[in-house]
Amino acid sequence: MINAFVANFRKTFIEMKRYFFDTVSSFIILFIIFYLIFFGFKIASGPNFGDTIDGIIVSYFMWIMFLASFQGVSYWIIQEAERGTLEQLFMSPVKFEFQMIFHVISDFCINVLMIVPLMYLAAFTTGRTLNFDLVTLLYLIILGSISAVGVGLILGGMALIFKKISSFIQICTFAFLAILMFEVDALWFELLPMVKATGMMRSMAVTGTKFYQFPIQDHVILWIAAALFLLVGIVIFRGFEKRAMVRGTLGQY
């Protein structure tokens, strides 16, 4: 089991290094999109823009972590199907669910190492100082990403059946960007994936709030959202998985 985890981590790192141009290009594009959003909000907000900069920075980079979490699962399944190795993964001595978890963990570790410095760089280039406590930062990113993984499992299950769902994934991508950029004072909205984690991170960025200083109800909502979407994602994924096995389409693309 440990060997499978190490192998997944090495595979992720090797692919990033081997396709170095694509890796660097993706980060450049992320910065370009950030500045387009940044200047767009600056023009729209006028003189009151200074009050919203921290929120924009945090929301955007939490959205990137959301993308890395939910797209990582779905695109991994699509990629393995395209390569013709998906059925082999299901036939491996290590259960497919464990291999998927190992892939998510390795992706998460690498993304945190890459995205957190980018967030500080974005703040520096826009003249802001983010008051981040490292423990609180990791706490919010991990719990927020768990709910995003639940969404990724749903999309991954769909990919087992429909094979190519890239257009639908892109729709979800920009829908959640809009969701994370705005604040709505409603319980149903806070239970959406990564919404509560993003709101708490805004408070941390602006006021320096640490995780133990948040009200207990914020933690309860954060944990419920993470557990709810992870559970729903697992149930729906297994439903799609059984359907694909019955139809005998795991090895087809």
Supply 73's token pair: 């699962």
What pLDDT, in 10s, does the model give residues 79-94?
888 887 887 888 888 8
Q: For residues 110 and 16, is the Cβ–Cβ distance under 8 A?
A: yes
Name all contacts of 16-20 with Cβ < 8 Å and 24+ positions apart: 16/110
pLDDT single digits (tens) 42-69: 776 655 544 567 677 777 777 788 788 8
The confidence score (pLDDT) of residue 218 equals: 92
Predicted model pTM: 0.81
Structure-token match 């920009």, residue found = 174
The SS3 call for residue 223 is helix
Please state, in angstroms and as integers, the Cα–Cα distance from residue 191 to each residue in 80, 113, 185, 245, following that order.
32, 27, 11, 33
Report pLDDT digits (tens) over 132-164. Answer: 777 888 898 889 888 888 988 898 888 888 888
Query: Quick one: how many helices (H) and strands (E) in the chain?
Result: 10, 0
- CA separation for the pair 239, 39 (Å, rounded): 44
| pLDDT for position 71 | 81
Q: Summarize the confidence of residues 174-193 as an average pLDDT.
A: 82
Model confidence band, residue 203 (pLDDT cutoffs 50, 70, 90) = confident
Average pLDDT over residues 215-221: 93
Residue 72 has which token pair? Answer: 């990582």
Could you read off the pLDDT of 106-117 as tens digits, one per residue? 888 888 888 878
pLDDT for residue 223 is more than 90: yes
Query: In this predicted structure, what is the pLDDT of residue 252?
Result: 67
Cα–Cα distance for residue pair 247/107, rounded to 1 Å: 30
CB atoms within 10 A of CB 155: 23
